[in-house]
Amino acid sequence: MLFFWDNVRNMKKAVDDTGVPSMRCVTHTLQLVVHEGLLSQRSVTDTRANTRKIIGHVKHSPLACSHLEDIQTDLKMEVKRLQQDVQVRWNSINALPKYRIGTWTRYRQILKIK
């Protein structure tokens, strides 16, 4: 049996105390590297900030949320709720470019968000 753990010290200590063979989760470590690499790029941090601002506006305004659903319907798109990226949700930062490419430009123009 082999126990995989993320990069948290208390997990390493707990596993070491049990004596069970273990190793760090390669996927988690890779995700941390990719995340840090992305956030070291100014264009990514600027895009992330702009996208968060738009998503925050839409999520906190029932009128904007309704307007966005109408836009998605008019454009014959699948009606989806926007999802804010959060640190504890793996790969949530990777979803932001999907929102940004193509559709965000149209949303911004229609919602009149700078």
Q: What is the 3-state secondary structure (H, E, C) of 42-79?
A: HHHHHHHHHHHHHHHHHHHCHHHHHHHHHHHHHCCCCC
Same domain, 21 and 55: no
Q: Which residue has the higher pLDDT, 58 or 112?
A: 58
Same domain, 35 and 52: no
pLDDT in tens, 2-58: 777 777 778 778 878 888 887 777 777 887 888 888 889 898 888 888 888 888 888
Same domain, 65 and 29: no
Same domain, 84 and 49: yes
86: burial class by Cβ within 10 Å (0-12, 13-18, 19+)? Answer: exposed
pLDDT of 19: 82
Split into its structural domains, the chain has a count of: 2
Same domain, 46 and 100: yes
Same domain, 1 and 17: yes
pLDDT of 61: 92
Cβ count within 10 A of residue 93 = 19
Q: pLDDT category, 62, cuts 50, 70, 90? A: very high
Show the domain range for 98. Answer: 42-114
Same domain, 3 and 20: yes
pLDDT at 100 over 80: no
